[in-house]
Amino acid sequence: MEFERTTDNLIKNLRVYITDKPGYLGKVLTTIGMHGGNIGDLRLIKRAGKSNLREIEIYVRDHEHMQEILHAVGELDGIQVASVSDAVLDLHRGGKIEMKSRVPVESASDIRRIYTPGVAAVCRAIEKDPELMYDYTYVRNTVAIVTNGTAILGLGDIGVRAGMPVMEGKAVLFSKLVGLNGIPILIDSKDIQTCIDTIVNIAPSFGAIKLEDFRAPECFAIEAALKEKLEMPIMHDDQHGTATVVLAALLNATKYVGDDLRSLSVGIIGLGAAGTGIAWLLKSFGVQTIYGADIAEDARQRLSAAGGTPLPLMELMQKAQVVVTTTGVPNLIKPEMVRHRQIILALSNPDPEIKPEAAIEAGAAFAADGRGVNNALAFPGLFKGALAARAARINNRMKIAAAQAIAALANSDRKELVPALLNPDVHQRVSEAVERAALESGAVKKLSEM
């Protein structure tokens, strides 16, 4: 029985006592494999007399599949099942982030410096010059990660509390990749004005605002209102983070087939937050001809207002030289719809609108899915660079600079679209490029305002 490991699989941790003699561990692993389990990590937990307690990470299709494996393992001689748990839930137990002090607190003297009475001097300094808050507090390195839970991953409107694990995950990436503090903020309201007012009121606590998983079309109105009211870096990641990484991918995809992206017609299928953000950034980059397809009339109107041309799906596929899909609909694009020498990025995960190999077989010059096109390649460096420059906003020039930095680090010998997320150079290069673009484009606050 073959079993492919995908992002939809369950990951289970099976703990078993195994007789400490040759062949017993092998029997367990063979049994798991024979019943279709895909084995990940294997750890020795402890030695217990004549047995060893081992933890085996297993990828399974569903709970019934795991029960089948448990039953088979339980029938083996010299083997005793101790426990089975969900590896992902185990990792999240207690949350993934915490706040810690950066200064030692070991004496009464330390207390007097960090709190009363010493802290009063810092408060008075900031009272006289509010910009000193960026020098003397954590604000200059802190981003609010804000959601109302209406568009969490591919799960949709699952509620604001259910979105917290995603917000924590973004905070972990901020910390690990660029050393920023990401603070999750949950707004338990679907009312646009309530969301806007809440964010405006808490904004002084942060150096930047990252909007996360707000559904379309509300996300457009919320972001636009915040940019009018606040002079600080604000970015809706589902729009602009996605658009930045897609631009990077398209720069390489077109390079590999010998074309200039600006001279090609681009069709975007799915004009939600991601698709609309892609269209806007490509227009700013210099792509002259942008088509779009979506079942929603308001989405098509947004594209028209931005200078794009709405088309029915079939007509778009006939006219566009580059096709980017963000619909979440598996197999939407049929092989017979693919044009000769088209470039296709089918970004929906885990099941793309057309599999890359099928698109190539149908005549595409280049095709890829969305497995490597990850927002996390862009947003950490975008915010790091914006904060380093004391930028009043994140503009298109900064996003384009980030995309070009990302594209430049992909391995052209392997025809990578984008580099690996954990490539240590990526986020530093993006930060530097964004900071430079902020300064060059006038996105920073004037000295008289600082």
Q: What is the mean pLDDT of the segment spanning 287-314?
A: 96
Distance CA 230, CA 227 (A): 5
Q: Looking at the whole model, is its pTM more than 0.95?
A: no
Q: What is the pLDDT of residue 111?
A: 92
The first and second tokens of residue 99, run together, are 């706040």
Domains, the chain, ordered by start: 10-92 (3.30.70.260), 124-232 (3.40.50.10380), 238-450 (3.40.50.720)
Q: What is the phi-psi region of residue 307: left when phi exceeds 0, alpha when psi lies from -120 to 50, beta otherwise?
A: left
Calculate the average pLDDT of the chain: 93
For the question of residue 170 being annotated catalytic, the response is yes
Tell me which of 17, 59, 170, 291 is the catalytic residue.
170
Tell me which of 21, 115, 176, 229 is the catalytic residue.
115
Q: What is the pLDDT of residue 1?
A: 35
**Whether residue 304 has pLDDT greater than 50:** yes
C-alpha 224 chain-centroid distance: 22
Q: What is the pLDDT of residue 424?
A: 82
Q: What is the pLDDT of residue 446?
A: 55
| 128-170 per-position pLDDT tens digit | 999 899 999 999 999 999 999 999 987 889 999 999 999 999 9
**Whether residue 447 has pLDDT greater than 80:** no
Three-state SS string over the chain comes to CCCCCCCCCEEEEEEEEEECCCCHHHHHHHHHHHCCCEEEEEEEEEEECCEEEEEEEEEECCHHHHHHHHHHHHCCCCEEEEEEEEHHHHHHCCCCCCCCCCCCCCCHHHHHHHCCCCHHHHHHHHHHCHHHHHHHCHHHHEEEEEECCCCECCCECCCCHHHHHHHHHHHHHHHHHHCCEEEEEECCCCCHHHHHHHHHHHHHHCCEEEECCCCCCHHHHHHHHHHHHCCCCEEEHHHHHHHHHHHHHHHHHHHHCCCCHHHCEEEEECCCHHHHHHHHHHHHHCCCEEEEECCCHHHHHHHHHCCCEECCHHHHHHHCCEEEECCCCCCCCCHHHCCCCCEEEECCCCCCCCCHHHHHHCCCCEEEECCCCCHHHCHHHHHHHHHHCCECCCCHHHHHHHHHHHHHCCCCCCCCCCCCCCCHHHHHHHHHHHHHHHHHHCCECCHHHC
| 74-130 per-position pLDDT tens digit | 999 999 999 999 988 888 888 888 888 889 899 999 999 999 999 999 999 999 999
Q: What is the pLDDT of residue 4?
A: 45
| 15-52 per-position pLDDT tens digit | 999 999 999 999 999 999 999 999 999 999 999 889 99
**Whether residue 450 has pLDDT greater than 70:** no
Distance CA 26, CA 217 (A): 55
Confidence class of residue 353 from pLDDT cuts 50, 70 and 90?
A: very high
Confidence class of residue 8 from pLDDT cuts 50, 70 and 90?
A: low
Q: What is the pLDDT of residue 3?
A: 41
Q: What is the mean pLDDT of the segment spanning 309-313?
A: 97
| 379-436 per-position pLDDT tens digit | 999 999 999 999 999 999 999 999 999 999 999 999 899 999 999 899 999 999 999 9
For the question of residue 96 being annotated catalytic, the response is no
- Higher-confidence residue: 11 or 93? 11
Q: What is the mean pLDDT of the segment spanning 280-298?
A: 96
Is residue 145 classed as helix, strand or coil in its secondary structure?
A: strand
> Distance between terminal CA atoms of the chain?
65
